[in-house]
Amino acid sequence: MEDDFIEFAKVGRKFNISGLPEVYKIIEVDTDKVVVTIEGIGSDFNVEIGDAEDSFKVGMWRSIVTLVAAHRDGMDCCKCNNFFQFAAPNQDDGTMICWSCRSGF
Ligand SMILES: [Zn+2]
Protein backbone atom coordinates (compact mmCIF):
# COMPACT_ATOMS: atom_id res chain seq x y z
CA MET A 1 0.00 0.00 0.00
CA GLU A 2 1.18 3.48 -0.76
CA ASP A 3 1.53 6.06 1.96
CA ASP A 4 -1.23 8.32 0.73
CA PHE A 5 -3.64 5.41 0.69
CA ILE A 6 -2.59 4.31 4.17
CA GLU A 7 -3.24 7.88 5.25
CA PHE A 8 -6.66 7.77 3.58
CA ALA A 9 -7.73 4.33 4.77
CA LYS A 10 -8.45 5.14 8.38
CA VAL A 11 -11.43 4.30 10.51
CA GLY A 12 -13.76 7.28 10.60
CA ARG A 13 -12.65 8.66 7.22
CA LYS A 14 -15.57 10.11 5.31
CA PHE A 15 -15.43 10.18 1.56
CA ASN A 16 -17.44 10.58 -1.62
CA ILE A 17 -17.48 8.19 -4.52
CA SER A 18 -17.36 10.16 -7.72
CA GLY A 19 -20.77 10.49 -9.32
CA LEU A 20 -22.66 9.45 -6.20
CA PRO A 21 -24.36 11.79 -3.73
CA GLU A 22 -23.95 9.64 -0.62
CA VAL A 23 -21.39 10.15 2.12
CA TYR A 24 -19.39 7.00 2.82
CA LYS A 25 -17.47 6.27 5.97
CA ILE A 26 -14.77 3.74 6.73
CA ILE A 27 -15.73 1.77 9.81
CA GLU A 28 -13.09 -0.93 9.71
CA VAL A 29 -9.73 -1.40 8.06
CA ASP A 30 -8.34 -4.91 7.78
CA THR A 31 -5.32 -6.39 6.07
CA ASP A 32 -7.47 -7.62 3.17
CA LYS A 33 -10.55 -5.41 3.21
CA VAL A 34 -12.08 -2.09 4.10
CA VAL A 35 -15.55 -2.05 5.63
CA VAL A 36 -17.53 0.94 4.48
CA THR A 37 -20.92 2.25 5.52
CA ILE A 38 -23.22 4.72 3.83
CA GLU A 39 -23.97 7.50 6.25
CA GLY A 40 -27.63 7.91 7.07
CA ILE A 41 -28.49 4.61 5.42
CA GLY A 42 -26.30 2.32 7.45
CA SER A 43 -25.76 -0.47 5.00
CA ASP A 44 -22.24 -1.78 5.45
CA PHE A 45 -20.26 -3.43 2.72
CA ASN A 46 -16.78 -4.83 2.29
CA VAL A 47 -14.34 -3.64 -0.31
CA GLU A 48 -11.22 -5.63 -1.05
CA ILE A 49 -8.21 -3.62 0.00
CA GLY A 50 -6.73 -3.73 -3.52
CA ASP A 51 -9.96 -2.45 -5.03
CA ALA A 52 -10.20 0.27 -2.41
CA GLU A 53 -6.66 1.41 -3.14
CA ASP A 54 -7.33 1.43 -6.88
CA SER A 55 -10.51 3.47 -6.38
CA PHE A 56 -8.58 5.92 -4.27
CA LYS A 57 -5.64 6.14 -6.68
CA VAL A 58 -7.78 6.91 -9.72
CA GLY A 59 -9.62 9.58 -7.74
CA MET A 60 -12.97 7.78 -7.53
CA TRP A 61 -12.86 7.84 -3.76
CA ARG A 62 -12.32 11.34 -2.52
CA SER A 63 -11.83 12.24 1.07
CA ILE A 64 -14.38 14.78 2.22
CA VAL A 65 -11.75 16.48 4.37
CA THR A 66 -9.72 17.12 1.24
CA LEU A 67 -12.76 18.51 -0.53
CA VAL A 68 -13.49 20.90 2.29
CA ALA A 69 -9.86 22.02 2.40
CA ALA A 70 -9.87 22.60 -1.34
CA HIS A 71 -12.95 24.79 -1.10
CA ARG A 72 -11.91 28.42 -1.11
CA ASP A 73 -13.89 30.58 1.23
CA GLY A 74 -13.71 33.96 -0.42
CA MET A 75 -13.84 35.61 -3.83
CA ASP A 76 -11.69 36.89 -6.63
CA CYS A 77 -11.79 40.61 -7.29
CA CYS A 78 -13.31 40.98 -10.77
CA LYS A 79 -10.98 43.88 -11.58
CA CYS A 80 -7.51 42.79 -10.40
CA ASN A 81 -8.33 39.05 -10.07
CA ASN A 82 -6.62 38.81 -6.69
CA PHE A 83 -8.19 36.35 -4.29
CA PHE A 84 -9.53 37.71 -1.02
CA GLN A 85 -10.35 35.29 1.74
CA PHE A 86 -13.77 35.77 3.35
CA ALA A 87 -14.70 38.37 0.74
CA ALA A 88 -18.38 38.56 -0.17
CA PRO A 89 -20.13 39.95 -3.26
CA ASN A 90 -20.38 43.75 -3.15
CA GLN A 91 -21.61 44.49 -6.64
CA ASP A 92 -25.16 44.34 -7.96
CA ASP A 93 -24.27 41.49 -10.33
CA GLY A 94 -22.94 39.29 -7.51
CA THR A 95 -19.26 39.91 -8.17
CA MET A 96 -16.75 41.47 -5.80
CA ILE A 97 -14.40 44.40 -6.33
CA CYS A 98 -11.69 44.72 -3.72
CA TRP A 99 -11.09 47.79 -1.64
CA SER A 100 -7.93 48.72 -3.55
CA CYS A 101 -9.67 48.66 -6.90
CA ARG A 102 -12.68 50.56 -5.58
CA SER A 103 -10.40 53.20 -4.13
CA GLY A 104 -8.54 53.55 -7.40
CA PHE A 105 -5.11 52.57 -6.11
ZN1 LIG B 1 -9.09 44.32 -7.01
- In angstroms, the CA 86 to CA 54 distance is 36
Q: What is the pTM of this model?
A: 0.59
Please say if the pLDDT value at position 105 is more than 80: no
C-alpha gyration radius of the chain? 20
72: CA distance to ligand 1 center in Å? 17
pLDDT of residue 50: 96
78: CA distance to ligand 1 center in Å? 7
66: CA distance to ligand 1 center in Å? 28
CA neighbor of 47 nearest in space, from 80, 20, 17, 74 = 17
pLDDT of residue 101: 94
Q: pLDDT per residue over 23-75, tens digit each?
A: 999 999 999 999 999 988 888 999 999 999 999 999 999 988 544 445 567 88
* Domains of the chain, each with CATH number or no CATH: 3-63 (2.30.30), 74-103 (no CATH)
